[in-house]
Structure 1
Amino acid sequence: MTKYKDLNVPHRTIMTPGPVEVDPRVLRAMATPILGQFDPAFTNIMNETMEMLRSLFQTENKWAYPIDGTSRSGIEAVLCSIITPGDRVLVPIFGRFGYLLTEICQRYGAEVTTLEAPWGEVFDPEVIINKIHEVSPKIVAIVHAETSTGCMQPLKEIGEACRNADVLLIVDAVASIGGVDLKVDELKLDAVIGGTQKCLSIPSGLAPITYNHRIEEILLKRKSIELGLRSFQSEPSNDRIISNYFDLAQLQDYWSPVRLNHHTEATSMQYALREGLRIVLEEGLENRFARHKLNERALVAGIKAMGLHLFGDEKHKLPVVTCIEVPNGIDSDEVRSMLLEDFEIEIASSFGPLHGKIWRIGTMGYSSRKKNILHVLAALEATLIRKGFNVNKGESVQAAMNVYDENKQQQNIETVVIGS
């Protein structure tokens, strides 16, 4: 008789910037029986997934598929497949994950130039554009939505400048894809990496990516060099892709009709991704973005009504992550612990210079619901009262409900106008 009991985890309301609550329909899909990865029924699922990913990324790119692994695997797969030692890369950093892009590029031999903005701010695009002209990089790698600071970087002018200068623009959209409007083609983004565990409300374990013909040309050139070197049994070349698992040239063959036997597919995660994407497209992208904005407005109204202050530049606030300054005299971790223990709610702290100074509340995907917004506001108010902070009692939930009521009235007006 085993000493280990049945798995029985607590049911949490997860309001962090990821992972978030998984949609129940996705969990059901993951219980679907396993198929062989070359079974026609499964390869049809792969084809449908690619088609839905193109819609999610709002792109006409040929290539849109997931990398098996967490979001970081997608970032590394894209970067290692296009970087050769000595390539110049520009990384604008305005939070924790810009440093991650820098480290990955350096590990593959790139000569990295960085720009840094204070945490809580984003870059004026002209600052980045001027640096592009100064450095003449092969690649600009940038985070779109920085969850460590709750800020979102405007990309339109940067995309235009990179295309005009024949520079590749690689974008980490892990925290924004599926929750924020991101038109890949219109913004002239060459490669974009998403994540499953945030606005898509799928477990962590896949990294959806898309890239255009400019990236593919590099992949095919390096593949040709690789094959040539194998034929002549030559010494390793700087043009060879170091990673086998993250080699996009091989992975696109795996996802193409060639069906290269590159790795054993994470079948249940593919079921999850397909169902998660189906849910997104069923809701409609515009409706989904509007839902995230509505719940953000309600949360922000409640936070301010409570007497708390937002952290960072509100003009460039990330709609799916709200950062709140921890009041003087309040222990950040004690509040988070009480929310978890007494209310079954998880919110996040932050990293580095912001650890213990801000709380981060995620309103992503399935977690972005009216019930959750009202629940977290009521629980945070009650917790702060217990911790001795002088909140404006009873006002936070009412302020949030006012936002929902106003939205409902606006929808009724629009319905009447359309109907007339």
Structure 2
Amino acid sequence: MKHGLLKMMVAGSLMSLSVGLSAQGQVGPQGVTPAPADTRLLATIKDRPAVKSAFAALESEHDDWVANIITLTEIPAPPFKEAVRAKAYADMFRAAGLADVEIDQEGNVLGLMRGTGKPGGKLVVVSAHLDTVFPEGTDVKVRREGTKLHAPGIGDDVSGLATQLSLIKALVAAKIRTPMDILFVGDVGEEGLGDLRGVKHLFFKGKYKDRIASFFSIDDGSTDGLINGGVGSKRYKLTFKGPGGHSFGAFGLVNPMTAMSQSIVNIYKIPVPANPRTTYSASVVGGGSSVNAIPNEVWLQLDMRSASAAELAKLEKEVLAQVDAGVASENAARSTRDGAISVVKELIGDRPAGTTATDSPLVSQTAAAYATQGVKARLSVSSTDANVPMNLGIPGITIPRAATGGRGHSVDEWIDVSPAPSLNVKRMDLLAILAAAGYR
């Protein structure tokens, strides 16, 4: 997708980011310290009577939060098939009190909380993604053991969806209106080959695309994480083609399997930096027709990642060159009398890299929101919906879902819904959103 390349060569601050270390060098193992002014601001917001009422609402609806997690988890949402869950989530948006609720052309669920400012002005986006990594037919029945809930996708990102609903209901219950509008989104296509299609639509084609001032993704599985760096990725399907033939009678002809294998060996000799962290993986292979036939087609899916847009672009160029070298070596090694080996390079995933600066108001105010709840924000990088605004130079971060757990992206995924830690996270999420929307 061409849009995924936009602004990837912008300022150097977007080009170098490593886990736990910002371009400004302000992040260490103890996390980030917010600016004093932001610390004072968030303490003031926290002490407002309406905010205390919102906190009380969060506490009173804890059981509803758990029930919403179970309900949404048990509505399957495999990649590119989120429609049933989206419809249910839109109904939840309406019941929670949002205005202008709709499902857009890409399948995102949108709902607006109108502020006190001029209609049509800048707004804050808060999102959580609807899709899971699990294919159609996966058993998504929730099993409960005390405060632990077990089911595929229950943490990533159903707990984020449920937390978003809790924040909405708390704001409505406390009758809080922020100066800026807040657009709440349940987006599609965050996982795998979805390639961030929901958020890309929101920023490049959606009706609110020119109004977005800042962006929150509720998709971190810790109680102190603040993701301000987006790990970019390039994903290719490489299809190697040749004449094929009988394994005995046509022995000596070029074999696309050998070209693919040589390409993988070549790729795994490419040196990559540890800082910024840059990686590659030959992940999925397929093709061939019979054990006694030279295949006429085989394919490979390849993943490349980096926290630096520049390093990712460099790696992509080197990888594709090594694929060409693998093809050339096979064509030189065996007979091409019935045809040579060729390769089709299909880009199947393009997640842009980027960062939101440590000293930006969004990061500093959010860190201050965490501090009001006794939490020191721990900055990190990851690949989330926030990659898109980061890459475009729009402040974007990813914040916790309010449910810790384990075994993410596996069928035995689980979360802990104990009240105390989850409520602490919801309070700091709420404060961060209020600050970003101009509430004072």
TM-score by length of 1: 0.28
Which is strand-richer, 1 or 2?
2
The structure whose Rg is larger is 2
The structure richer in helix per residue is 1
Normalised to the residue count of structure 2, the TM-score between the two structures is 0.27
